Structure 1
Amino acid sequence: MTRLTAMREHLGDDFPLMVDANQQWDRPSAMRMCRAMEPFNLVWIEEPLDAYDYLGHAELARVIDTPIATGEMLASVAEYVKLIEHQSCDIIQPDAPRVGGITEFLKLTTLAAQAGLTLAPHFAMEIHCHLAATYPIEPWVEHFDWLDPLFNERMAIADGRMIVSDRPRLGVTLSEQLRAWTVDSCVITGAERTVAPANAGIYPRRAT
């Protein structure tokens, strides 16, 4: 709590502050820690339990005033359905590349919106900025500069908000650095398919 106290004192009472436990607590520890963090006015506490502990997260979301966020590690719409049906979180954090792409992401966010959940997609802001902008409840988008070398363009941020690009498609083009790092590729045209070897190539969150 020393570090959390120092951050809140440094940032002030109104600055958005989150805590990410990275699935490190068991249920008793999570309950104890989440209760201890209530006075800090956090936006959310992220992944206090194992990602697949739907019941444990549901109990925390029921009794803790601070919103519970989770979901970034789940890998299918079916897994998110369990999260939503168990009322395991207040803030849902899907990852489009991990869940199967844009279509699958939109399927689960439709369910999330019907449940009244806040959306805070995980990573890959170049995709999630556009997808989050379609969500009916004001979302959050994580901001990382880790993938900057892969693209010629940069995401625009103003006053703590990420600006949706008006450039075509996702608004980014692949850099020469990315092309230099790519060791193989595949071309898919109609029914014909040339498949790259396994593990070939490279695989390329409003801001927090």
Structure 2
Amino acid sequence: MTALPLVPATADLTIHRLSARPVLVPLALPLVTAGGAVDKAPLVLVDLETEEGVTGCAYLFTYTPRALAATVRQVEELTPLIAGQRVAPLALSERLAAAFRLLGRPGLVGMALAGLDMAAWDALAKAQGLPLYRLLGAEARRLPAYNSKGLGMIGAQMAAEEARSLLAEGFNAVKLRLGYPTRAQDLEVAEAVRTAIGPKPRLFVDFNQTLTLAEAKHRVPPLEAFDLEWVEEPLPWDDYRGHGALAAETSLPIQLGENCWGAGDFAKAFDAGLDAVFMPDAMKIGGVTAWLQTAGLAAAYGVQLSSHLYPEISSHLLAATPTAHWLEYVDWAAPILAEPFSVTDGLAGPSEAPGSGIAWDEAAAKRFAADI
């Protein structure tokens, strides 16, 4: 691991600049969903450089390589707004929210602001010589993790084989993507996977926003036979009313949150009747600062909070979440990290390294650099 600069624990950090670089990382296990196929992870590596020599790190997942160039530019264009300011994430969040109020935060602006926020918290923790969860006042927790890097729409036989393989990597839970052309196909695949893994491992289902409300009411209740942990985003993510109506039709928890922008969207979901589970995405929710706001609301309402992607920083955030539930595991950033995230016996905890545990394997970052 790269040695950190020796900085007094009480030192203030001053922002020098925010830099970004695109990488395109091949997936060891390509993922096919009803919304499209993913065989490479388009990531933007964010570095918050300080005058004191401490660099905070974070990465952003842009979903499509077409968004890499725009995301890099949006991140780097934040530098004139923050250069010379203290690394104070709460204050930075307030000032930048005001700067972008008329434009609005969802989209590339929100992604860039989240990258800055995560990198700022990482820098602060590194300067203090603390893992992020300790800077947040939490204790380390080993939480149950589910393997989400595969089980795309590959048919019943292949899904059954892949489910067994994913559990063999040290997990007790896996996520299955559904949304086949017919309900019969969905049920066939779900039955094949449940039969292959047996009754004990937990099984999650994700429809990736592909159904109408009428179709969801037709397809979801029969899935109760397979003892699912939850059904994720059967409808477009912001159809809170529809998800609430569906939740009233089934005993299965209806999960959403990965596409929600900020704590306000959590409140909308709760008000619509989705009062059991919620899964923020560390980037879209707004980084560490907005995650903590969302976690406070979830604790007040008694809603269980799980993570979406970003297992490295999410493990720290879940440690500071009173109603922490599940950690989603993918290995998409592992090839460009100096110390990839790991899961043992189905459980995962935060890194004990200073910061969020994110440091670049520079040779790999150069090898996977994207041409934009």
The one-letter amino acid of 1:165's match is S
Any idea what SS the aligned residue of 2:261 has? Answer: coil
The one-letter amino acid of 1:75's match is W
1:1-208 map, 5 Å: 1-88=187-274, 90-176=276-362, 177-178=364-365
Deviations 1:104-158 (A, max 9, x none): 1110121112211111211111110110122223421111111012210021311
Aligned structure 1 segments of 4 or more residues deviating by more than 3 angstroms = 179-183
Cα distance in structure 2, aligned partners of 1:121 and 1:157: 15
TM-score, normalised to structure 1, is 0.82
Q: Structure 1 residues 182, 2: CA separation in 2 closer, same or farther (over 3 Å shift)?
A: closer
Cα distance in structure 2, aligned partners of 1:65 and 1:91: 13
- Say whether the 8 Å CA contact 2:295–2:322 is kept in structure 1: no
Any idea what SS the aligned residue of 1:17 has? Answer: strand
The one-letter amino acid of 1:55's match is R
Gapped regions of structure 2 (runs ≥ 5): 1-186
Q: Which moved more, 1:161-170 or 1:39-48?
A: 161-170
Cα distance in structure 2, aligned partners of 1:37 and 1:143: 23
Cα distance in structure 2, aligned partners of 1:124 and 1:89: 24
The one-letter amino acid of 1:155's match is F
- Say whether the 8 Å CA contact 1:34–1:64 is kept in structure 2: yes
The one-letter amino acid of 2:280's match is P
Cα distance in structure 2, aligned partners of 1:41 and 1:2: 15
Cα distance in structure 2, aligned partners of 1:178 and 1:105: 28
Any idea what SS the aligned residue of 2:255 has? Answer: strand
Identity of aligned residues (%): 32
Report which of the two has the higher share of strand: 2
- Say whether the 8 Å CA contact 1:55–1:88 is kept in structure 2: no
- Say whether the 8 Å CA contact 2:312–2:351 is kept in structure 1: no
RMSD over aligned Cα, in angstroms?
A: 1.9
Cα distance in structure 1, aligned partners of 2:293 and 2:369: 31
TM-score, normalised to structure 2, is 0.47
Any idea what SS the aligned residue of 2:340 has? Answer: coil
The one-letter amino acid of 1:64's match is T
Match of 1:195 in 2: none
Cα distance in structure 1, aligned partners of 2:323 and 2:360: 31
Cα distance in structure 1, aligned partners of 2:274 and 2:324: 20
- Say whether the 8 Å CA contact 1:58–1:88 is kept in structure 2: yes
Any idea what SS the aligned residue of 2:325 has? Answer: coil
Any idea what SS the aligned residue of 1:129 has? Answer: helix
- Say whether the 8 Å CA contact 2:312–2:358 is kept in structure 1: yes
Higher relative contact order structure (alpha carbons within 8 Å, sequence separation ≥ 6): 2
The one-letter amino acid of 2:272's match is H
Larger Rg: 2
What displacement does 1:100 show?
Answer: 1.7
